Structure formats: C-alpha cells, structure tokens
Structure 1
Amino acid sequence: MSTPLQIGLLIFPKVTQLDFTGPLQVFAGLPGAKIHLIWKRIEPVPSDSVLVLTPTITLADCPQLDVICVPGGAGTDDLVNDEETLDFLRAQATNAKYVTSVCTGSLVLGAAGLLEGYNAATHWSAMQYLPAFGATPTRTRVCVDRNRITGGGVTAGIDFALTLVSILTDRKTAETIQLGLEYNPAPPFNAGSPDTAPPEILALAKERIAAMGARRGDAINEAAARLNQPA
C-alpha cells in the first residue's frame, strides 16, 4: 500500500476562506491524499467572513507534510510576527516537497525566511512587501520557482492548486479535477485585476484597504527587522 500524500493547509483567525477552500476542493479530488487543516488548537477559528472553521490537527501533532500551504487574509498581519507559527513552517519546509501559499500567505512564508532568493506571487495590493523578505514580486496567477509555488490573490488559489496537482501527479489528473469542478471562468466584469479595472473602481478598492495597508506595512517592517537580526 502506498503512503498517502500529506497535504496541510494552515488556518488562522481572519483567514480569507476562499484562499484555502478553493485549493481544498481541488485537493479533495486528488486520489490518495490526506488533507489536514492546521492550527494551534482544535477549536473554532473565525474567518474574515461569517464562516467559522474547524482545524483537524494542531501544529504540535501535525505529521511531516509533503505540501504545506499558507492562505492569506487580514490575519496574516499577525502571523508574520507569530514565532510559533513561523517555527512550524520552517520545520515543515525542511523536508516538505513543496512549500506553497495563496494570496498574502506568501508574506508569512517570507517572514519565516522561506522565500529569500525566490520569485513569488501574492495579492496585487501586497506586492510591495515581498522584497522585504528577499523575494522577487511576480505578477502572475501562479508562480512556480523550484519547490516554492505561490498563488496570486484569493481566486488564484484554484489555479494554484490545479497547477500543483499537475506537478504532483500529471496533467490528466488535474484536468479531470478541473472538469469535475466545472472550473471554466467567465467573469461578468473585466475588473478582476488592477490592470483591467476601471480607474474609479481601482481608486475605490485602494481607499477601502488603505487602513489595512498601513497596519500591514508596520507588521512587515517588524517582521523583516526580526528576520534580519544577527543570529
């Protein structure tokens, strides 16, 4: 009997649920995969919406993973300076086949020192923070750089997961999962990227996230300073 593929997705307070539920649904179609939802304790975790999530395993009890994935959300502003979480990611990354993220989860990988010298994707509003961790921002839905695979913002998590499945297995398996999900996007508006959104929509979006951006900038500066402290 073959050993099941161990895939772990970190969940945390104020996670953006679609960042990980998109990939989770893709991974659920992967034959022979064991999927873990990981957090510090087995207790309900509030997302950034009304949805409440339940971890399946703790950081302490998590087995060695083949794939570790960090989703994004406002809660990553706390995680970038959470040593317990960062230590867990560093330990898992040592032997994981793939170290991955979706959206601003890449900032947490960066804060753990796991993206230095790598190209990485993230949400369009967070691109400017990646260089603080030695990463090169890459404007793409999915960025593959050796065993670091990072997805862009939120909905890119589905693209990321299908890409990863094709690497873990083959394209046929990934395409079969895609068909099962009827993932055939045809958005009603061409406003899903700052490159295509009307200027007034982009301005409104930036206005809505301005306060969060200021808080995030402070958190990133603190995380980068701690990461670069002499050993």
Structure 2
Amino acid sequence: MRNRAVDLVIFDCDGVLVDSEPISVAVLLEVIAEDGVKISPEEGYRIFLGRSLKTIVETIAADYGLVITSDHVTEIRQRLFERFRRDLQPTPGIAEALAALKVPFCVASSSQVERIELSLGVTGLLESFGANVYSSTMVRNGKPAPDLFLHAARAMGVEPARCAVVEDSPAGIEAAGRAGMHVLAYLGGSHVGPADLRRRVEAMSPDLVFDRMALLPSLIDRLSPGESFG
C-alpha cells in the first residue's frame, strides 16, 4: 500500500463548511452603511472575504475613514448571530464528506471561537469537530499569514507538509501555501459568483480547484507524497 500524503485535513469554516459569506457581508455592509459608508456587495467580498474582524476593522478605518467602535462590533455580532440561527445552512454534501474522510480533520477560521461554534452548532456539524476548533484569535497574525494553519497543525501533531487545507478565500489560499501545505480551493459556495472568486482563485494556482464537496474524500485519497494537482 502506498504511503499517504495527507494525515490531516484543515477546513476553513465560512464558505467551506457553512454557507455564511452572503449573510456575513450583508450584515457588515448594513451596519457601516448606517454610518454613511456605502460599499457594494462585490467590493465588500473583495475586501473582507477570509479576513479576521481585526483586519476588517483596520481596513474600514484606513480606506473609508470610519472608526469601528465596540458598539459597532456588538451590533454586528448581534445581527449576525441572529441571522445565523435563523438562516445559516451547511455546505451541501459536507456532512457526508466528513463522515467519509479517512484521516483526522479540524477547522481553522478567521472568526472567533464563539462564532465558529455557533456556525457549526446550528448546522449540525459541531459534533464532528469536537475540540478541534482553531481561531485567528489564537495567533499573532491572521490570514494571509500562515500562523493559524501552522498552529492548527502543531496542535493536531501533524507536519505542515502532510496537511491539506480546504479554503475558499484568496487570503486563506495564500496562508495555506505559505504554510507549506496542500491547497484545495473549494468554489461551490453561493458567494463565489458575486465575489468573482473563480478568476481570483485560479490565478493563484492552488493545487486543486473543485466545486462539489462530495468529491473531497476521493481527492484526498488520490494525493500521493510530493504530488500536486496545480
């Protein structure tokens, strides 16, 4: 039997495990619009997708001159969590894909732990991950820095070269590549068209681009040591 190339699959959360990006961007743009900052959904996706709240706050201040206060953050979280509880859905096929994986897996997201656990909880996925939940709040630098993925690999006891990252955002794809991991770009989310993700992601040459989560277990099985699908 050939040696396995992948001993750990690291999932992003938003846009990969759950279809949350349209909700998240809509809430953020809604709140800042109330303070006079009007950003189109397309621009919102381009600027904010895959970024930590800290980075988003810094970007809004630098590019649009709006200081995001603690009141803004509280309002964003309250609206977001309410809509997640009401509307959030899992990515089609993800539960079956997780059940079929033959290697351990975890989630590493730019979101805070509370939001990750809420997202996975309301979509019925939290039990599959248990305590294997990692947030950018646990590291110094969020995506596109590699810190979060390297932290997750260390915590799970796996060398970076033997990890496969499933990501949808340019920031996350860059982070996974800088971490020295296999990079699988999932482009099946409902936000892919509005965010112009396919063009942006394919230009980054990840190891593999796919749009049906049901394919993931077989794609992981096909990876051989040193192999790339780029």
TM-score when normalising by structure 1: 0.39
Which has a greater percent of strand? 1
Question: Does 1 or 2 have the higher relative contact order (CA < 8 Å, sep 6+)?
Answer: 2
